[in-house]
Structure 1
Amino acid sequence: MKKKAFDWLYKGLFFIVAAILSGCSQAKSDDGYTAGDLRAVNHVEGQGINGFSVNGYHVPGLGGGYCCIMLPEKWTPDLKARVEWEVDPNPNVILPPLGTDEFRKAYEQHRTKYQQYSAIVNIPQFGKERCGLTVHFLPCNKVKVTTVCSGYGTENYPIKEPLNMKEPPACPVK
């Protein structure tokens, strides 16, 4: 009897791992949308992105691909992304030891300096191949997005801005 239980457990774990590894980049719905991962690249030196969302799909932090965002099967010229994000202007602050009253007070004070931003940007034209959406955070609270499957820094990647860009002393007024 124990062997059967372990067989079921192993089969269940296999299917769970397979589902996780396959991600949601190929998930299709019946209403003309495809799911894809959300990714981000921070180009601004000395600034932390605590989290962001695109059209309501939230990502906590900047890690790798985070599932999922729904993109239409067919691109249209009016396709937009509303990007909202939270910036920590001093992510390298040294706080007192975790779990202490001093830490809680210092963290609350540090947290008051977080800044929220939003932007609406055009989603560039895509064809059948698209791998979710990658958001690039640039100086002066600008963002660019792409749906290409290749990674940042590869030859055909459309966004060429370098990493570790410095904020200018003054940003252009919108």
Structure 2
Amino acid sequence: MSSFLNLRSARRVLLMLAAVLLAGIALQACSKAPPDRLGAPIEGYNHTSAAINYFTVNGNGGPNIGPFGGGGSQTCCVGMPRKWRPGLTVVVEWEKDPTPHAYGDWPEPMFSDAWSARMKKEKTNNTLHRAVVEVAPYKELGVIDVHFLPCNQIAVSAVAELPGKPGYPFSYPRKMEVPPVCPAS
């Protein structure tokens, strides 16, 4: 009789342990909601004749972009909400070189001391910029596309569509000229 009670007690303990284990698994499954934020790659499009030496989105680096260039070169990443919401903004900071090909006309031999001194002086013409930019609405989070426009204007999208395809929020021409008067910021 005593061994029967021990066996019965052991079964009861095992059943209780199994119930606790299943309850724990069920609770864990409930808490595995998809994350609210995801890491999205960064890509840039430069619609101006200046060079974008570097840029960041919320402190995360993007690639450098030559005049009228960009696309196809992504860096990682910016934490973005899975779902767009009104008022969603990012901070874009960048360095702009207004005369990226000036060194091609210099008489000094490339990489000589005189050329290096001139390059150092030329870099003082580069300007730093910062903008808080509203992100265009998106249904599905994709790549963070930063568009550099004339007059130090910025547009940002995060859609899962490529520029030029249906559903992409912007249709800027690749080459844009600076207007005679820039709009007030």
The percent identity for this pair of structures is 34
Q: Give the C-alpha shift of residue 97 in structure 1.
A: 4.1
> Is residue 2:94 matched to residue 1:82?
no
Instruction: Please tell me whether the aligned partners of residues 69 and 132 of structure 1 are also in contact (alpha carbons under 8 angstroms).
Output: no
1:40 aligns to what?
44
Q: Distance in 1 between matches of 2:131 and 2:172?
A: 18
Instruction: Please tell me whether the aligned partners of residues 62 and 74 of structure 2 are also in contact (alpha carbons under 8 angstroms).
Output: no
2:177 aligns to what?
166
Instruction: Please tell me whether the aligned partners of residues 71 and 132 of structure 1 are also in contact (alpha carbons under 8 angstroms).
Output: no
Q: Distance in 2 between matches of 1:41 and 1:89?
A: 16
Q: Give the C-alpha shift of residue 31 in structure 1.
A: 5.4
Which one-letter code corresponds to 2:38 in the other structure? T
Correspondence list, 1:1-174, <5 A? 32-44=36-48, 46-62=49-65, 64-93=73-102, 94=104, 95=106, 96-127=108-139, 129-174=140-185
How many equivalent pairs are there?
A: 143
Instruction: Please tell me whether the aligned partners of residues 35 and 132 of structure 1 are also in contact (alpha carbons under 8 angstroms).
Output: no
Greater Cα offset, 46-55 or 118-127 = 118-127
Q: Distance in 1 between matches of 2:166 and 2:63?
A: 29
Question: When you count helix as a share of all residues, which structure comes out higher?
Answer: 2
Could you tell me which runs of 5 or more consecutive residues in structure 2 were left unpaired when the two chains were aligned: 1-33
TM-score (norm 2): 0.70
Q: Report the CA distance shift for 1:140/1:37 in structure 2 as closer, same or farther (over 3 A).
A: same
Instruction: Please tell me whether the aligned partners of residues 46 and 52 of structure 2 are also in contact (alpha carbons under 8 angstroms).
Output: yes
Could you tell me which runs of 5 or more consecutive residues in structure 1 were left unpaired when the two chains were aligned: 1-29
Provide the aligned C-alpha RMSD in A: 1.8
Q: Which has the larger radius of gyration?
A: 2
Match of 1:159, SS state, is: coil
Q: Distance in 2 between matches of 1:156 and 1:74?
A: 16
Query: Over residues 82-110 of structure 1, what are the superposed CA-to-partner deviations in whole Å (9 max), with x where a residue is unaligned?
Result: 11111110111125444321121011111
Instruction: Please tell me whether the aligned partners of residues 41 and 75 of structure 2 are also in contact (alpha carbons under 8 angstroms).
Output: yes
Which one-letter code corresponds to 1:107 in the other structure? M
